[in-house]
């Protein structure tokens, strides 16, 4: 069943109502901006595709660090999410490309294969210390930048 929403936007939006035949009292509703001539069967099929989306979210969290963000603002959060989604896309494309050679390959297995195949940087004591110093300088610069911005904001509020 479709009904046009009263939206003051340039595009039309629809409500799609779906009820599973075995669950008469359960009614699912979805907002949709598909063209008005989209077949009802396709809308019903697409509204039932929650599982692939949840699988992508689970892969992103467990395999790609989607839930490991340590950012202080929206720009950093969006950057982290974009990198996670691009990583997921890369792994899915690699899995599809392998196709018949590895039909049941999971994202976790693709990631594991890449960890074995890709070269890894080897650290000796001196290069490890140099890397730690570089990270500490970077963290200090980020701290000073944030502190400077916060002090500017505080000063502006006091005026």
Mean pLDDT across 17-24:
78
Query: What tens digit of pLDDT does each residue of 30-79 get?
Result: 888 888 899 988 888 888 777 777 888 888 888 888 888 877 788 888 99
Query: What tens digit of pLDDT does each residue of 96-119 get?
Result: 888 788 777 777 887 888 888 888
Mean pLDDT across 24-32:
83
- Tell me the pTM: 0.49
Mean pLDDT across 132-148:
93
Beta bridge partners of 4: 14
Instruction: Enumerate the domain spans of the chain.
Output: 2-48, 52-120, 129-159
Q: How many CB atoms lie within 10 A of CB 64?
A: 20
Q: How far is CA 23 from CA 2, 58, 103, 106, in A?
A: 20, 27, 35, 33
Taking 70 as the threshold, does the pLDDT of residue 4 lie above it? no
Look at residue 140 in the predicted model and tell me its pLDDT. Answer: 94
CB-side neighbour CA atoms (13 Å) of 140 = 6
| Weakest-pLDDT range from 2-6, 41-45, 101-105, 143-147 | 2-6
């Amino acid at each position: 069943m479709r009904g046009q929403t009263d939206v003051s936007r340039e595009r039309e939006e629809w409500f799609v109502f779906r009820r599973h035949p075995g669950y008469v009292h359960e009614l699912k509703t979805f907002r949709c901006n598909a063209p008005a001539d989209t077949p009802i069967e396709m809308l019903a099929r697409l509204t039932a595709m929650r599982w692939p989306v949840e699988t992508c979210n689970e892969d992103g969290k467990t395999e790609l660090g989607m839930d490991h963000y340590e950012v202080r603002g929206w720009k950093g959060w969006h950057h982290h999410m974009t990198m996670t989604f691009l990583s997921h896309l890369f792994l899915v494309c690699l899995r599809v490309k392998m196709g018949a050679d590895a039909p049941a390959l999971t994202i976790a297995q693709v990631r594991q294969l890449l960890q074995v195949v890709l070269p890894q940087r080897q650290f000796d004591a001196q290069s490890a210390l140099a890397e730690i110093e570089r990270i500490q300088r970077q963290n200090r610069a980020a701290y000073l930048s944030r502190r400077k911005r916060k002090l500017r904001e505080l000063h502006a509020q006091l005026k």
